[in-house]
Structure 1
Amino acid sequence: MSDGELETYSLVELAVDRLRRDILSGRTDPGERLVEEQLTRRLGISRAPLREAMRLLAEQGLVEHIPRRGARVATLSDSDVRELYEVRDVLERHAVSTMPPAPDLARLRVALDTIRKATEADDRLELANAHRRFHAEVVALSGNRQLTGLYESILVRIQLYMAVNMRREAETAAPADGVVRHERLFAAIESDDHSEILAVLGAHGARTYLS
């Protein structure tokens, strides 16, 4: 890869990271138009890396390209959300059923500690990201990388939905509730009892948010 290609790739990464944060934090609303001229000025990049970044975000399900109307933040219907949660549940149950005995919980423990720190800092975006990482680490315990990758893509789209509700969630849920739920799930996994893990997952919040 030449220096010019490397520089372009770095600009693409920058744009993906900035736009992804805007979308998943709720700073940009679902359906909001993503205007190239505005974004190139704000991000300080040309159209080529921006368009590549938008393509990658579209692959992640965060951006939609509308014929003759340009790009916009992806939208999710009620049925989309319901189906995503159904797929999430199926993948989680399969992962639990294939977990080896006494798995290494080091990465899961780190993810739980990140949830605690994000809660203390009252960083809602980092907390949502930490929840996603924790659940991805749960599924990763199955040892199935393809399953884990598919599961993570589902979680990102659910987080897009959750971003719309971040303010309402902040008003209705105590910050420590999420920590307690994930500590309970960690303890179930540590017990190495698959039926207990599934029971805790089933009671893991109302599943209205990525929690």
Structure 2
Amino acid sequence: MEPEGVLRPHSLVELSMRRIRHEILSGTLAPGERLIEEQLTQRFGTSRAPLREALRLLGQQGLVEHLPRRGVRVAELSRADVDELFGLRDVLERYAVETALPGVTDLRDLAKALDDMATAVEQDDPYSENEAHRRYHVALVALAGHRQLLLVYEPVILKLQLYMAANLRREAEVRAPSEGVERHQRLFDAIASGDPALALDGLARHGARTYIG
């Protein structure tokens, strides 16, 4: 019988990535915490080669940091990093909405992410809520049908996901769980109107700093 948590052979890199990513974004692994290869290989039942590749890819996503002679740790974002990333996110999303509207009618991906966010809140599942939140914003930018824009945008939202995961836990302490869903529903309704001015106003209201520092 395999030890609990051991990963099976198929796509060990992908499985290792998912496991570590889940632990980071669920708060099991805290920002700044060191990731010890020996401990992870024992827990996952895998060798160092796929684990190192998984950590390399997670580094590209901005979730872990490789420090010279000090190994790997969960990434930490400074206040300046967060402000710069939110600024980039806002500029790119505004461009996406300006490009997409009027004319876009297929909002299925955006609606699905919103539904998943609501379900995660109902089930008290912060990890799934954070993942649905990321997919919502990616779907919003994808409305523009602009491949290069999406390629630029996705690394920004991935790096922000680390901050947003911690922020969701802070929000839960001071705000109603449904508040985040309602905020995204208002933005969805503004986009669904097809009115560019209304959608941009909804985006500006949504993009105002509603996050807890």
TM-score (ref. length: structure 2):
0.90
Residues 1:192 and 2:194 aligned together: yes
Paired position in structure 1 for 2:109: 107
Paired position in structure 1 for 2:167: 165
Q: Are 1:12 and 1:53, in contact at CA under 8 Å, matched by a contact in 2?
A: yes
Paired position in structure 1 for 2:80: 79
Give CA-to-partner distance per residue, 1:34-75, whole Å, 9 cap, x none. 101001011111000000001100111111111111111111
C-alpha separation in 2, matches of 1:183 and 1:199: 14
Q: Which amino acid aligns with 1:109?
A: A
C-alpha separation in 2, matches of 1:30 and 1:153: 18
Q: CA RMSD in A?
A: 1.8
Q: Are 1:9 and 1:49, in contact at CA under 8 Å, matched by a contact in 2?
A: no
Give CA-to-partner distance per residue, 1:65-98, whole Å, 9 cap, x none. 1111111111111100000000000100110110
Matched residues, number: 204
Paired position in structure 2 for 1:26: 27
Paired position in structure 2 for 1:50: 51
Q: Which moved more, 1:50-59 or 1:94-103?
A: 94-103
Shift of 1:164: 2.8
Q: Are 2:130 and 2:168, in contact at CA under 8 Å, matched by a contact in 1?
A: no
Paired position in structure 2 for 1:144: 146
3-state DSSP of counterpart to 1:30: coil
C-alpha separation in 1, matches of 2:180 and 2:123: 14
Paired position in structure 2 for 1:3: none
Q: Are 1:96 and 1:194, in contact at CA under 8 Å, matched by a contact in 2?
A: yes
Shift of 1:185: 1.0
Q: Which amino acid aligns with 1:48?
A: A
The structure-2 alpha-carbon separation of the partners of 1:166 and 1:112, relative to structure 1 and needing over 3 Å to count, comes to closer
Residues 1:174 and 2:176 aligned together: yes
3-state DSSP of counterpart to 2:62: coil
Paired position in structure 1 for 2:120: 118
Give CA-to-partner distance per residue, 1:13-35, whole Å, 9 cap, x none. 01000001111112111111110
Deviation >4 Å, runs of 4+ = none
In structure 2, runs of 5+ residues without a counterpart are 1-7
Q: Which amino acid aligns with 2:204?
A: G
3-state DSSP of counterpart to 2:206: coil
3-state DSSP of counterpart to 1:45: coil
C-alpha separation in 2, matches of 1:164 and 1:118: 16
Percent identical across equivalent pairs? 58
Paired position in structure 2 for 1:132: 134
Paired position in structure 1 for 2:16: 15
